[in-house]
Amino acid sequence: MNFSPMVDLVRDPRWGRVMESVGGEDPYLGQIFAKTMIEAYQGEDISKLGNAAACVKHFAAYGAAEAGRDYNTVDMSEREFRQYYLPAYRSAIEKGAEMIMTSFNTINGIPASANQWLLRDLLRKELGFKGVVISDYSAIEETIAHGVSKDKKEAAYKAIMAGVDIDMMSNVYSNHLKELVEERKVPEAILDESVLRVLSLKNKLGLFENPYGNIDEEREKKILKSQEHLEKARKLTAETFVLLKNDKQVLPLKKDSKIALIGPYADNIAILGSWSMFSDKAKIATLKETFEKKVGVENVLCTKGSHILEEKDLNHILVEDGATPIHTENEKEQERQMLEEAIEVAKKADVIVLAIGEHYRQSGEACSRANIEISQIQQNLLNKLRKLNKKIVTILFNGRPLVLNHVAENTDALLEVWFPGTEGANAITDVVFGDVNPSGKLTMSFPQATGQCPIYYNHYNTGRPHIKDIRFASRYQDIPTESYYPFGYGLSYSKFEYSDLKISSHKMKEDSSITVTVKVKNNSNVPGKEVIQLYLQDLVASVVRPTKELKGFKKEKFEAFEEKEISFEITPDMLRFWNENLEYQAQTGEFKVFVGPNSEHTLEEVFEYVEAR
C-alpha cells in the first residue's frame, strides 16, 4: 500500500503541506491528477508485481485549515465543501482507490476520525466507497484533545462507530475495542465490517498466498536507482520546473560562459524536500557537480555566499527535530566574509547563477509559516550581487508559493525548481543550458504579500469588485489585489502567441455541446511545449459563481514557428454546480469562455446555455 495521492485542495501557501498536494488550488486539476495516480499505482490488478493499493488522503478538506496552520480547524458551508474540496476525493474513489485516510481537522465541528456523517453517510453511502478507512497518525486518540472524547475508550468507540477500520499508531483500538464489544456498546457486526474490509484488501493484494508481497532483495537492487528509472526521473523532473522570468532571454546560458554559481544550494544535496528520509544521499549530485560536468570545471566558479537561514532560525528547526543546536563564533563576521567571497567570485564571471530558497524543513507537515518570504540573509546576498550590474539567474528551491517581489525585481531570470528530487541537479542543468525547454505551469497562485493569503484565482466577485482607482472596493490599500504570479503561469524559451478564438455556436442546449478553437503559434526558432488552458465563467446564477474556473487543458509540442489550431469541447456537464438547495445542476444563462497560457492572460468569447425545446 502507498499513502498517496494527497488530493487536498490548497488555497493558503502558509500551510506547509501544500508541497504534497497534487492539484494545488484547483478542483479540476485535483480530479485529473487523482484518477491518473490511482490508475498508475493500482493498475487493473493490484496484486500484480509492482502495483500497490492507493490510499487517498486526507479526508476531508484538510487543506482548508484556518490561517494555514497545520492540524487547525476547518469550517465551511456544505456547498463550498461539495463544490471545491470534494471533487478530487470523488474522482479517486470512482477510479477504484482501495483506501482512504482520515484528516486531522474538524468538519462541522466534529473531528474527521469521529465523524459519522463524513465517513458513513457521505463516504460510504453517497460516494459508494467500499474500501478500507485508516486514521492519520494518532488522529483517533487526538479526538480527546479536540474535546469530543473524554478518554481513549470513548475515542475508540466514536471512531469505530464512525467507520474507521484501522487505527494508525495509537493504541486505542488494541486496548479498548475488545472491551467495547464485550460490553455490547459496539455491535459485533460493526467490528466484523471493518475486519472484513481489511481482510478483503489483503486478499486482493495476494497476501494470503504471498505474505511478503513485492519484497525481493535481488529485485530491489536491480530496480532502485536503475539507469532506466534515473533517466525517467531526470526527464520528468525537468518538466515540473516553472520559468517565472526571463528578461532579454538570459536563459538558456551559453556553454562557454564563465559562471559564478553562488548560494546555499549551489553545492548542496539537500534538494529532496520532506518525506525523503530514506534516499541514498551518497548518490545525489549537486548543482556544482552537474554544472562542471556540463561546461567544464574551468567555467564554473562556486561559493556558498550565505547560509539558508540565520543561526537562530536554523536552531529553531534543529531543536524541533530533536537535533543539537549549533553555535558559530562571530556569526556576523562569518556572514560578512561569505558575502565578500561571493562578490569576488562574481566579479570574475560573465553571469551569476544564484541558488537560494527555503530550508528543506520549512516545507512539509508541521511546517506552517506566518512569513513566506525568502530569508533576509539570502536577500542580503542577492542585494550585494545586484550591485555588480551583472546578469543574475536565480534558481529557487522551495515547497510552496513564496512572496517573490524583491527576488524577482532584482534578478534577470527566475526558475522555480521546487524540491526536485534525486535527479534534480541534472534536470536543472539540462534546463539552464537549453538541452530542455521549460514547460511547467503553476498549480497555485504566488501572492504579493503573506497578508494576501489565502489567495486563489477562482474566487468569487464581491458586490464591490476591485476596479483600478476606485476606493470603496474589495482591495488592499498597500498592495495590488491580484497575485504576483497567477495560477497556470509559466514561461518558455519559445514564444507562444494566441489568436483567433472561435466557438462553434453562441447557443448550447442540454443535449448538445460547443467546440472552442484557438490558434497557438510558436513564434520562435526554439521547439517547445505549451499548456493551453480553458476556463469558464457563469455570468449570472442563483448563487455567486467564480470569476473563472479551469475546465480543460492540453499540453502540445510545437516545432519552430509552427502554428496549430487547438480545440476543446464544452459540454453541459462542465456548467454544473451545487446550487442553494445543494442540487447539482446547470442553469440557463450566459457564460464566458477563456483560453490562454494562464488564468489571467486569456482570449474571451460568450455563449448562452438555453433550455432544449
The enclosing H or E element of 205 equals none
Helix 188-204 and helix 152-162, axial crossing angle in degrees, nearest 10: 70
Beta strand ranges found along 388-478 (DSSP E): 391-397, 413-416
Q: Do 252 and 434 touch, CB atoms closer than 8 A?
A: yes
> How far is the C-alpha of 596 from the C-alpha of 104, rounded, in Å?
38
Longest dimension (CA), the chain: 82
Q: Which residue in 12, 26, 136, 430 is the catalytic one?
A: 136
Q: Do 506 and 608 touch, CB atoms closer than 8 A?
A: yes
Residue 116's φ and ψ, nearest 5 degrees, are: -65, -40
> How far is the C-alpha of 219 from the C-alpha of 399, rounded, in Å?
32
Burial state string for 334-361 with b = 16 or more CB within 10 A and e = fewer than 16: ebeebbeebbebbeebebbbbbbbbbbb
How far out from the chain centre does Cα 530 lie? 20
Which residues lie closer than 8 Å to 571 by C-beta, 6 or more apart?
513
The enclosing H or E element of 234 equals helix 227-240
For residue 531, give the nearest of 484, 597, 580 by alpha carbon.
Answer: 597
- Residue 136, C-alpha cell as written in the block: 492519520
> How far is the C-alpha of 276 from the C-alpha of 229, rounded, in Å?
17
Residue 141's φ and ψ, nearest 5 degrees, are: -60, -30
> How far is the C-alpha of 477 from the C-alpha of 254, rounded, in Å?
43
- Residue 360, C-alpha cell as written in the block: 528543506
Give Cα separations from 178 to 155, 156, 175, 181, 184 (angstroms). Answer: 14, 10, 7, 5, 10
Q: Provide, for the chain, the percentages of residues in helix, strand and coil under a 3-state DSSP scheme, each rounded to the nearest 5.
A: 35, 20, 45
Q: Which class for 10: exposed (0-12), middle (13-18), buried (19 or more C-beta within 10 A)?
A: buried
Q: Do 348 and 260 touch, CB atoms closer than 8 A?
A: yes
Residue type at position 323: A
Q: Cα angle at 469 between 465 and 473, to 5 degrees? A: 30
Is 321 one of the annotated active-site residues of the chain? no
Residues designated as active site: 136
